[in-house]
A and B are shown apart, each in its own frame.
Chain A
Amino acid sequence: MTTLIVIILYLCLLLGLGFFSSRLFRGTSKDYFVASHSIGPFLLLMSVFGTTMTAFALVGSTGKSFERGIGTYGLMASISGLVHAGIFFLIGIRLWAFGKKYGYITQIQFFRARFESDGLGYLLFPILVLLVVPYLLIGIIGAGKTIEPVTAGAFTEIFTNPTAPQWLGGIPPWLTGLVVSLVVLTYVFMGGSRGAAYANTFQTIVFMVMGVVAFVYIINGLGGMEQAGKVPARITEKGIIVQDYQFDKTTKELVKNEKPKPIGRVTDSTTVDLSNKQPHLARTPIQVEFKKKNPKTGVISSFERELGIPFITFLSYFFIPLSVGMFPHLFQHWLTAKSAKAFRLTVIAHPLCIMVVWVPCVLVGVWASGVLPPGIPPPAVLSAMLNLLVGDPVLTGLLTAGVLAAIMSSLDSQFLCLGTIFTNDIVIHRAGKNKYSDKQVILIARVFIVVIVALTYVLAMWAKNANVFDLAIWCFSGFSALFPVVFAALYWKRATKEGAFASIIAALISWLYFFHLSGYGGELVIGPGIIPAAVCFAVAAIAMVLVSLLTKPPTEETLQKFFPSAKKL
């Protein structure tokens, strides 16, 4: 119950911030959509970082390193530091400049003007919505999955049908999803993009601080850093994977097992000598077989897992962070910047913020391999480590608030961006900009945001058992496949309307093909370990180049507008 009270207090605080930021709202559509281009460096950094980091930053990173080891950081975090910063510098500032100069509020407005095509907007709109909606589902489903275990036992009389027997009395996912949706809706509805920027800043600080606090408590629980380094699971001379330590709940100390506890065995490896190696500390792939117990039936079964990361997969993961170049919600955040200089802090500090959040989480996941049962669901690893090693309800509540903060700081921007693109790219675009007053435009956006929140909630309840983190990678892959369009639009004069159409259609078809092969959201690698995003990107880039070269170049007027001469630029 204490945990739940802490979470409720946090949500109330967030609503209070929503009311505060709504008082700063200037009442114009420009302020509602892009905060009148008034956001300074710190708010921009926090809102961009908070938007790009979902629940994956805390919960997913810990779970992934529990499964695969330290390679998780290089695979998803450090490469993102390089690529994201590069995109903010090369794409973000340039799009901000055109947005400021020509008054664009959405990506589609920019692409329509650059490629001289209305139809391109109608093609892009459903694709962007289709890719953002699963991203929204990730947040709502992830929130539900996070809250139920940590509030288990709080309402045993009311919530009698838990997802797993041990979570009896916990807040059910449908209620968490509803509350989270309503809280985000409230502050986005009131404050628009300025409200989202303030809320994001607050929430990003919360989840960064809570990640570090949880890390410190877990280290103390393990008996200090040096001791923690010995904890990860180990392979014996016979290829058995063992845990050398266990946490004694009575003495609250980590104690060495008299005999190492076997938890699995190596089934395949290219490394000759694995004896006494701790596989989570390196990245060479090995196949292992673990056993797990079904919590409902008690039946023990075995499952296979690949520890480490194949080199080709590691290499091709470069294509995933390219997705930020095409995130419509990030485009909108870029447009809120007061000046190009506001980007400077983001370019420098974004990789450091990633490091502060991800390094502790990856370490916790690695250490968890030595004290938690291998069959535990990866998203539950962080809370399980806290429950085991700390067990303090206030801290658990604060950490859960941190996870919710990471989730909601992405949800708000995505809801707002869908409202923005629908209002500007469909309604106003079709009706003409003089058809509606400024107040009516804000009203249309707000109504659409309410509708999209409601639809997303219903969809999330329908897809509540989906693996949210695999779904996230598919969303990123789709946006990565569209990256050649934005890059060519900004840097290649010869890129044509037909090239853009071909590239988007090629990206869509290849993405749908691989998504189908994956069983609609599962893990999929091609050949020696290439991820689908790399192939979709290549197909889309080739289509852009070939079709552009075969078709008529853009008009001189368009080229002068987007590629001003050196004197002007």
Chain B
Amino acid sequence: MKKRVIWFLFLLLFIVHQDFWWWDDAFLVFDFLPIGLAFHAGFSIVCAILGWAAIKYAWPHDLERFAEENNDEENAI
């Protein structure tokens, strides 16, 4: 369930990224930062938060264990 929520948020962010609502808006936030750029800078921060959420709620513990135990490396390749 938690993994599905992370996937949903990922897809939602992809849609939000298109940002067609401020496409033609040249308003300056704090008189220097164009709103379209400010939005996408904020988007980058939200991506980092999503990364944190993915690690917290969808971390592949089993895969990690699988890689660490009974390492076949000596016999491989």
Choose among A103, A341, A350 the residue that contacts B73 (Cβ–Cβ < 8 A). Answer: A103
Cα(A510)–Cα(B30), bound, Å: 46
Q: A78 contacts B67, CB within 8 Å?
A: no
Choose among B31, B37, B72 the residue that contacts A359 (Cβ–Cβ < 8 A). Answer: B37
A79-B17, A363-B33, A568-B62 provided; 11 other pairs, C-beta below 8 A? A74-B17, A74-B19, A78-B47, A97-B60, A97-B63, A225-B31, A282-B34, A283-B24, A351-B51, A362-B37, A568-B66
List the count of A-B residue pairs having beta carbons below 8 Å apart: 155
Cα(A102)–Cα(B73), bound, Å: 5
Q: A104 contacts B77, CB within 8 Å?
A: yes
Choose among A228, A283, A318, A564 the residue that contacts B36 (Cβ–Cβ < 8 A). Answer: A283
Q: B77 contacts A352, CB within 8 Å?
A: no
Q: B71 contacts A281, CB within 8 Å?
A: no
Interface residues on B, range: 35 or more
**Does B26 sit at the interface, judged by CB under 8 A?**
yes
Interface string of A81-123 (1 = CB under 8 A from B): 1100110010001101110111111000100000000000000
Best-buried of A98, A318, A339, A340 by chain B (most CB within 10 Å): A340
Q: A101 contacts B67, CB within 8 Å?
A: yes
A343: nearest chain-B partner, CB-CB: B55
- Contact partners of B54 in chain A: CB under 8 A: 89, 347
A347: nearest chain-B partner, CB-CB: B51
Cα(A566)–Cα(B44), bound, Å: 34
Interface string of A276-292 (1 = CB under 8 A from B): 01100111100000000
* Given A104-B77, A226-B32, A352-B48, residue A278 in contact with residue B26 (CB < 8 A): yes
A309: nearest chain-B partner, CB-CB: B23
Q: A71 contacts B51, CB within 8 Å?
A: no
B13: nearest chain-A partner, CB-CB: A82
Q: A226 contacts B31, CB within 8 Å?
A: yes
Cα(A347)–Cα(B41), bound, Å: 17
Q: 26 A–B contact pairs at CB < 8 A?
A: A74-B17, A74-B40, A74-B43, A77-B40, A78-B40, A81-B47, A82-B47, A94-B63, A96-B67, A100-B71, A104-B77, A226-B31, A228-B32, A229-B31, A282-B26, A282-B36, A283-B23, A314-B18, A315-B18, A339-B64, A340-B63, A340-B64, A350-B48, A352-B44, A352-B45, A568-B62
Taking the nearest CB of chain B, how far is it from the CB of A225, in angstroms? 4
**Does A311 sit at the interface, judged by CB under 8 A?**
yes
Choose among A70, A78, A226 the residue that contacts B43 (Cβ–Cβ < 8 A). Answer: A78
B35: nearest chain-A partner, CB-CB: A281
B10: nearest chain-A partner, CB-CB: A86
Residues of A within 8 A of B (CB): 70-71, 73-74, 77-79, 81-82, 85-86, 89, 93-94, 96-98, 100-105, 109, 225-226, 228-229, 271, 277-278, 281-284, 311, 314-315, 318, 339-341, 344, 347-352, 354-355, 359, 362-363, 366, 424, 433, 564, 566, 568-569
Q: B67 contacts A97, CB within 8 Å?
A: yes
Q: A340 contacts B60, CB within 8 Å?
A: yes
Residues of B within 8 A of A (CB): 10, 13-14, 17-20, 23-26, 28, 30-34, 36-37, 40-41, 43-45, 47-48, 50-52, 54-55, 60, 62-64, 66-68, 71-77
- Contact partners of B24 in chain A: CB under 8 A: 271, 282-284
Interface of chain A: mostly helix, strand, loop or mixed: helix
Cα(A70)–Cα(B39), bound, Å: 11
Cα(A42)–Cα(B38), bound, Å: 27
Q: A102 contacts B72, CB within 8 Å?
A: yes
Cα(A74)–Cα(B71), bound, Å: 42
B37: nearest chain-A partner, CB-CB: A70
* Given A74-B36, A225-B31, A347-B54, residue A100 in contact with residue B73 (CB < 8 A): yes
Taking the nearest CB of chain B, how far is it from the CB of A497, in angstroms? 18
- Contact partners of A102 in chain B: CB under 8 A: 72-73, 76-77
A65: nearest chain-B partner, CB-CB: B37
Taking the nearest CB of chain B, how far is it from the CB of A175, in angstroms? 38
Closest 3 CB pairs of A and B: A103-B76, A281-B26, A97-B67
Q: B44 contacts A81, CB within 8 Å?
A: yes
Taking the nearest CB of chain A, how far is it from the CB of B60, in angstroms? 6
Taking the nearest CB of chain B, how far is it from the CB of A435, in angstroms? 14
Cα(A71)–Cα(B39), bound, Å: 11
Cα(A433)–Cα(B75), bound, Å: 11
- Contact partners of A424 in chain B: CB under 8 A: 77
- Contact partners of A566 in chain B: CB under 8 A: 62
Q: B34 contacts A281, CB within 8 Å?
A: yes
Cα(A314)–Cα(B22), bound, Å: 14
Cα(A70)–Cα(B64), bound, Å: 40
Taking the nearest CB of chain B, how far is it from the CB of A201, in angstroms? 20
- Contact partners of A73 in chain B: CB under 8 A: 37, 40-41
A277: nearest chain-B partner, CB-CB: B26
- Contact partners of B40 in chain A: CB under 8 A: 73-74, 77-78
* Given A74-B19, A351-B44, A355-B44, residue A85 in contact with residue B51 (CB < 8 A): yes
- Contact partners of A347 in chain B: CB under 8 A: 51, 54-55
- Contact partners of B13 in chain A: CB under 8 A: 82
A315: nearest chain-B partner, CB-CB: B18
A433: nearest chain-B partner, CB-CB: B77
- Contact partners of B48 in chain A: CB under 8 A: 81, 85, 348-352
- Contact partners of A85 in chain B: CB under 8 A: 47-48, 50-51
Cα(A228)–Cα(B63), bound, Å: 50
Q: A569 contacts B63, CB within 8 Å?
A: yes
A89: nearest chain-B partner, CB-CB: B54
